[in-house]
Amino acid sequence: MILCANPSAQFKSYQGEIEKAVLAVMRGNRYVLGEEVLLLEQEFADYIGTTAAIGVANGTDAIELALRALEIGLGDEVITVSHTAVATVAAIEAAGATPVLVDVEPQFYTLNPLQLGEVFTPKTKAIIAVHLYGQAVDLDAITAFCHKHEIFLIEDASQAHGAKYRRQRLGSIGDIGCFSCYPTKNLGAIGDAGLITTNNTDLATKIRMLREYGWNERISEYAGRNSRLDELQAAVLRIKLKHLDTDNEKRRQLAEYYADQLSDVMVQLPKIRAEAESVFHLYVLQVEDRQGLLEYLKGKDIQAGVHYPVPVHLQPAYQDRILTANDMSITEDLTENIISLPMYPELSMNDAKKIVDVLKKFLD
């Protein structure tokens, strides 16, 4: 079976390094927020190009803590997209704020800046720009809008570790960057983990306090919570961070192969923004008979995925309860047709060729 994602294969790629690092933690005497976390924070900040990085328990917490640090909560509105992992929206609600969802650009699947003016109100305090599938949003337009209206920009870069916009790493451009390090991510732990980046020293200090009950010398100055990163996950992420650029390049090579081989068949291939350098967390096509293709691939021992089958605003927990732009048609239409092909650094070119051959046979 060719899997859609395969975190176990990445563990095996760096098994010796990872096991050595994990064993060192286990033989030590500090298992939460210790030296491994501190070193990971320094190394990740250097990699992204920010003055600070803060380790937290997961990517959802990263967004919630970012909002809390910016004092965004009850009565405030935060704009983001409906075509995203539900975690983005769940984090807004966890902070007490109201999600306001807009549509995406049809060619890039990322936030449509043209709808921002329609949904902006005096209650709007921030935009969460989701760099979906490994590619940047239109940061020029969104940053300009944020500056004009004096609101915050949070980058949800959970699918874009290492990606760039105008040669800057994503997560270094907005006020705060948020990263999930779930095992299938480009930089994935062996369990849950998350990171927050910022160039604002005061925000970094506050986030570090908020992740641990708002403590300053074990006295709560803020109403914080527990979102600590453990040493084992930090040790694993430090190993994988060293290999991230190499692994992302392997993803690009696979994406180039897919694009070259599928350019003459009846599918809509992903487009890359001219200003962006994608890291292809996912390789997403649009096809007419998605269900038929999914079943056909499965019959050939190829596992594909759908990211994401139902827009957040149409899911039972959120339907008719959250605010949206008037026109959500692009999101609603594309979620009927999208399919994610297998994409990870350990995917061999032989397997990629099999995927292409099977897909072509189905579409002929």
Instruction: Note whether residue 290 is domain-resident.
Output: yes
Q: In this structure, what CATH number is given to the domain that contains residue 98? A: 3.40.640.10
CB of 206 within 8 A of CB of 54? no
CA distances to 23, 87, 107, 117, 126 from 67, in Å: 36, 14, 29, 21, 8
Instruction: Note whether residue 125 is domain-resident.
Output: yes
Position 279 pLDDT exceeds 90 = yes
Number of domains in the chain: 2
Q: Looking at residues 99-112, what average pLDDT do you find?
A: 98
DSSP letter at 340 equals E
Q: Residue 93: CB partners within 8 Å, gap ≥ 6? A: 99
Instruction: Note whether residue 1 is domain-resident.
Output: no
Query: What pLDDT score was predicted for residue 298?
Result: 98
Joined together, the tokens standing for residue 8 give 């176990």
Q: Are strands 152-156 and 176-180 parallel, antiparallel or unpaired?
A: parallel
Instruction: Note whether residue 75 is domain-resident.
Output: yes
Q: In this structure, are 123 and 256 located in the same domain? A: no
Boundaries of domain holding 300? 243-363
Q: In this structure, are 227 and 344 located in the same domain? A: no
* Radius of gyration, CA atoms only, the chain: 20
Q: In this structure, are 45 and 58 located in the same domain? A: yes
Q: How confident is the model at residue 320 (pLDDT cuts 50, 70, 90)?
A: confident
Instruction: Note whether residue 2 is domain-resident.
Output: no
Q: Looking at residues 24-45, what average pLDDT do you find?
A: 97
Which of 172, 183, 177, 173 has the alpha carbon at shortest distance from 195? 177
Of 216, 238, 260, the position where a domain reaches its end is: 238
DSSP letter at 34 equals S
Q: In this structure, what CATH number is given to the domain that contains residue 293? A: 3.90.1150.10
Query: What pLDDT score was predicted for residue 135?
Result: 98
Position 333 pLDDT exceeds 90 = yes
CA distances to 26, 66, 124, 306 from 82, in Å: 41, 20, 17, 15
Q: Is the peptide bond before 109 cis (omega within 30 degrees of 0)?
A: no
Q: How confident is the model at residue 6 (pLDDT cuts 50, 70, 90)?
A: very high
Q: Looking at residues 322-351, what average pLDDT do you find?
A: 98
Question: Per-residue pLDDT tens for 47-95?
Answer: 999 999 999 999 999 999 999 999 999 999 999 999 999 999 999 999 9
Joined together, the tokens standing for residue 60 give 């959802």
DSSP letter at 70 equals T
Of 185, 217, 238, the position where a domain reaches its end is: 238
Prediction pTM value: 0.98
Instruction: Note whether residue 288 is domain-resident.
Output: yes
Give the mean pLDDT of the chain.
98
DSSP letter at 360 equals H
Q: How far apart are CA 16 and CA 24, in angstroms?
A: 12
Question: Per-residue pLDDT tens for 136-188?
Answer: 999 999 999 999 999 999 999 999 999 999 999 999 999 999 999 999 999 99
Which of 43, 335, 337 has the alpha carbon at shortest distance from 187? 43
Of 238, 268, 302, the position where a domain reaches its end is: 238
**Can you say how many angstroms the Cα of residue 187 is from the centroid of all Cα atoms in its chain?**
10
Q: In this structure, are 117 and 181 located in the same domain? A: yes
Per cent of the chain over pLDDT 90 is 99
